[in-house]
Amino acid sequence: MESVKSLVPPASRACIVLASLVIAACAGNGEGLDANGRPLVPGGGGALPPLSADFDSIQANIFTPICSVCHMGGSAPEGLRLDAANSFNLLVGVPSTEVPSLLRVKPGDPDNSYIIQKLEGHQAVGNQMPNGCPTSQPCLTTSTIAFIRQWITNGAPPSATATAAATVHAAAPLAITSIVPDDLEPVSASPPQIMIAFNHDLDVTQIDSRSMHIEKLNPGAPPVVSEIIPAHLTVSSANPGALMVWPSLPLSSGHYRVVINAGTPPQFSDIAGHSLVVGAPDELGDSVISTFDVEVLP
Amino acid sequence: MIQRLTIAALMLAIVALLRTAPAQAEPYLAVMTGYKCNVCHVNPTGGGLRNEFGVTYAKLLLPAETVDNTLDAWTGKVTDRLRVGGDLRADWTRVTTPNSPSQQSFQLEQLRVYADLTIIPDRLGLYVDEQIAPDGSINEEAYVRYGNTQDGFYIKGGQFYLPFGWRLQDQTAFVRQVTGINMTTPDKGVELGYEHAAWSAQFDVTNGAANATTGQGYQVTTQVVYTKPIWRVGIAGSSTQSDLGDRRVGGLFAGLRTGPIAWLAEADLVRDESLPGGRTLTAGLLEGDWRLRKGHNLKLTAEYEDPDRSVSNDQQTRYSIVYEYTPLPFLQLRAGYRHYFGIPQNNTQNQQVILMELHGYF
C-alpha cells in the first residue's frame, strides 16, 4: 500500500477520487423506451430479437429502427423504402439509382453490393449511411455490418415469414401484394422506379417493355391522358417476385398512373401459370395498377 | 543507459530551442509534456505528420528501449524541403454483443502516408495525408498553407480536419461521434489560425458534412486553447447551416498533469435540428494516462452520452482500459478492453470489445 502511495502523488490521488465520482454516472435503464432508445408509443415494439445474419433480424435491428427513419414513405431518398413491407423488394437485385452499375444487394457478393459500400463509406457511392454518420449519429459498427455481409454472402434470402407464407399460399392466384408508390400516394420527387411486388414468382418470359407504361393525367372528369411515358421493366433473378418499372424520363410534378397495356394477352403470370387478377377497367377502360402524385419540391 | 537518456534529453532540448514552437502527438503526450500541438506535428492543430521534434521524441523518449541503427539519422526529412511519414495500424478485435455469437477478426485499420513540401520556408507549404489502405486510396487531408504555424498567423485552404476538442486516437469515442468532428470527417474550406506563446486559435469556414451533396450552407468552426506546462484549457464551437437542419456544437476541454498521470476531460453539447423534432445531445470524456515507466502507458477512459436530453433513461456510458507498450522506436503494441453500457433492450449498446493493435509509424 505504501509503495502505491509513493507512486501516486497527492494531486493524482485527488484526481482519481474525483474521476471515480464522475465515472459513477450510469447508463439509462431504458424504462419507457423502445429498443432504439426512443419513447414507447402505444402499439410500439419492445425488445429486439438478437442481431443475426437473416433478413428478419436485420430488418428489425437495423433497417426499421435506423434506416426507415428517413427511408420511408413518399419522400424516401432515391425512392428506397426500407420499412419492413418494402425493403427486401427494393434492395435485392435492384440497381442503385446513385451508381446504377451496382445492385443495392447483389446476392453472394457483399463487396459489390451498393448497400455495403454505402454503409462502409466507400467514396465511389457518395455519402456514408446512416445519413449524417458520423456527424449526427454513429455509423454502423464493423461487426453490425458483418451481419449484413453474411446475409448477402448467404445469397440474401428473403424473410423466413414471407417464405413460409408463399409456401402455404402456393395455389392462390397471382396477385399484387404491394406497390411503391402505393395507390393514391404523393411522392416528393420523381420516383426512380415503381416497384410492384407479387405473391408468387413471375414468369419473366412474358414480360417486356410493351407490358406496361406510365401515363400522366390532366385533371378533369374523366381525366385526360396528357403524356405517355414509356417504361423499362425488369425482374431480378434474385427476386422474381418483384417487378421494377423504370420510367424512361424523370417525372415532373403531376398526377400519374401505371397501366397494363391493353390489347395484349394476359402477360403477367407466375411460374405455375396463374394469371394476374386485376380489378375491373377504370373509366378510361384501362387496367390500372397504381395512381400516384409527384410533387417535385423546388 | 543514463548517459544515453541524458544525450537524448539534450538533443530534444536543442531541437526545441531551435524551433520557435513545439508540437504534439497523442493528446495525452501533449498534456504529459506540456507541449502545444505544433511542437510535434507539422499540422498546427495536431495529428498526422510528425515534425523533426516529433520524430526525435518518438525515437528517443517514447520507447522503452532505444536502439542503435541506421534510423538514428532519420528525422522524417527526405530533402531540405520534403518531409514524409506514415502510420500503419493492424488490429485484432473480438466483439461480444448480448444474445449474439461473438465476432472476431483481424483487420488492417489503416495505412496512411503523409508528406509536407516546403515551398517557401516558414511561409508557404503543401501538406497531404493519404490513406492508402484498406479500400484503396482515400485522401484525408490536402491543403496549401501560408504563414507561420509556429508564431503568428497562418491560413490554410483545401481539405483538412476541423479543430474541435481533443484530437483522440480513438475515433469511436462518444465525444468524437456526437460532435461529428473527428479524424474520419475531413472537410473542405479555409482555416485562419494563430499561434503565439501559450495561445492557439483557429477559425474555419468549410462546407459542412451535411452540405456535401446539396452545395448549400456552410460550417463555421472555431477553437481557442491556452496551454501552460502542467495544464491547459480550450473552448470550441461549430455551427452548420444546412437544408437538412442547422446544427450547433459547443465544447469545453482541459488537460492536467499530476505526477505520472495526464488527465484529459471534455464536455460537449450539441443541438441538432436535422434530427426529427430537433434534439439536444451531450457527451463527456474523462481519460487518465498513467505513464508507469518509459514506454509503458496505462490508459483508463470513462465516457458518457445522452443522445436526447428530452428523453429520460436513454443515457449510454463506455469504459475502456488500454495498455500501450512502445518497446522500440516506431513500434507500439496496444491491448485493451471496452465495455459499453446502454439501455438493456438494445444489444449493440451493451457490447464488449477486446482489442489488440500493432502500430508502426515513422
pLDDT class of A287 with cuts at 50, 70, 90:
confident
Nearest-Å Rg of the Cα atoms of chain A is 25
- Nearest residue in chain A measured CA to CA from B109: A142
pLDDT class of A243 with cuts at 50, 70, 90:
confident
Question: A20 at the B interface (CB within 8 A)?
Answer: no
Q: What residue has cell string 447508463?
A: A27
pLDDT class of A20 with cuts at 50, 70, 90:
low
pLDDT confidence of residue B223: 97
Q: Using CA atoms, how far apart are residues A58 and A138, in angstroms rounded to an integer?
A: 17
C-alpha cell at B175: 465525444
Task: Kindly state whether residue A124 falls inside one of the protein's structural domains.
Answer: yes
Task: Kindly state whether residue A179 falls inside one of the protein's structural domains.
Answer: yes
Domain at B2-361, CATH class: mainly beta
Taking the CA of residue A8 and the nearest CA in chain B, the distance in Å comes to 7
Taking the CA of residue A27 and the nearest CA in chain B, the distance in Å comes to 5
Question: What count of residues does chain A have?
Answer: 298
Residue A109 pLDDT exceeds 70 = yes
For A135, the closest of B103, B210, B307 (CB atoms) is: B210
Q: Using CA atoms, how far apart are residues B129 and B113, in angstroms rounded to an integer?
A: 6
Q: Express each pLDDT in A204-217 by its tens digit.
A: 777 777 778 888 88
For A126, the closest of B95, B105, B213 (CB atoms) is: B213
Same domain, yes or no: A268 and A180: yes
Please say which residue of A160, A183, A206 terminates a domain: A160
Residue B240 pLDDT exceeds 60 = yes
Q: Express each pLDDT in B193-227 by its tens digit.
A: 999 999 999 999 998 866 655 567 789 999 999 99
Task: Kindly state whether residue A26 falls inside one of the protein's structural domains.
Answer: no
Please say which residue of A130, A160, A190 terminates a domain: A160
For A12, the closest of B98, B105, B261 (CB atoms) is: B261
pLDDT confidence of residue B15: 38
Q: Is the full-model pTM beyond 0.95?
A: no
3-state secondary structure at position B12 = helix
* CB atoms A27 and B317 under 8 Å: yes
Residue B150 pLDDT exceeds 70 = yes
Task: Kindly state whether residue A28 falls inside one of the protein's structural domains.
Answer: no
Average pLDDT over residues A110-131: 84
- Nearest residue in chain B measured CA to CA from A145: B103
Residue A26 pLDDT exceeds 50 = yes
Task: Kindly state whether residue A123 falls inside one of the protein's structural domains.
Answer: yes
Parent domain of A214: 172-294
Q: Using CA atoms, how far apart are residues B320 and B337, in angstroms rounded to an integer?
A: 6
DSSP state of B210: G
Same domain, yes or no: A140 and A71: yes
Assign residue A251 the CATH number of its domain: 2.60.40.1220
For A144, the closest of B171, B313, B348 (CB atoms) is: B348
Average pLDDT over residues B272-292: 88
Q: Which amino acid type is present at position A248?
A: S
Q: Using CA atoms, how far apart are residues A98 and A109, in angstroms rounded to an integer?
A: 19
Same domain, yes or no: A143 and A187: no
Return mean pLDDT, chain B: 87
pLDDT confidence of residue A277: 66
pLDDT confidence of residue B6: 46
Task: Determine phi and psi for A52, rounding to 5 degrees.
Answer: -145, 175
Return mean pLDDT, chain A: 77
Q: Tell which B residues from 2 to 31 touch A, by Cβ distance under 8 Å.
A: none
* CB atoms B315 and A136 under 8 Å: no
Same domain, yes or no: A153 and A59: yes
- Nearest residue in chain A measured CA to CA from B180: A135
Structural domains in chain A (count)? 2
Q: Looking at beta carbons, which residues of chain A come within 8 Å of B317? A: 25-27
Q: Tell which B residues from 286 to 305 touch A, by Cβ distance under 8 Å.
A: 286, 288, 302, 304
For chain A, what percent of residues have pLDDT higher than 90? 4
Same domain, yes or no: A284 and A176: yes
Task: Kindly state whether residue A32 falls inside one of the protein's structural domains.
Answer: no
Q: Express each pLDDT in B78-101 by its tens digit.
A: 999 999 999 999 999 998 888 777
pLDDT confidence of residue A4: 54
Question: A50 at the B interface (CB within 8 A)?
Answer: yes
Please say which residue of A97, A126, A160 terminates a domain: A160
Average pLDDT over residues A35-58: 70
pLDDT confidence of residue B1: 43
* All structural domains of chain B with their residue ranges: 2-361
Kindly provide the b/e burial profile for residues B316-332, where b requires at least 16 CB atoms within 10 angstroms of the residue's own CB.
bbbebebebbbebbbeb
Q: Express each pLDDT in A164-187 by its tens digit.
A: 666 656 667 777 877 888 777 777
Q: Tell which B residues from 244 to 283 touch A, by Cβ distance under 8 Å.
A: 244, 247, 256, 258-261, 263, 272, 274-276
What ipTM describes this predicted complex?
A: 0.76
C-alpha cell at A38: 426512443
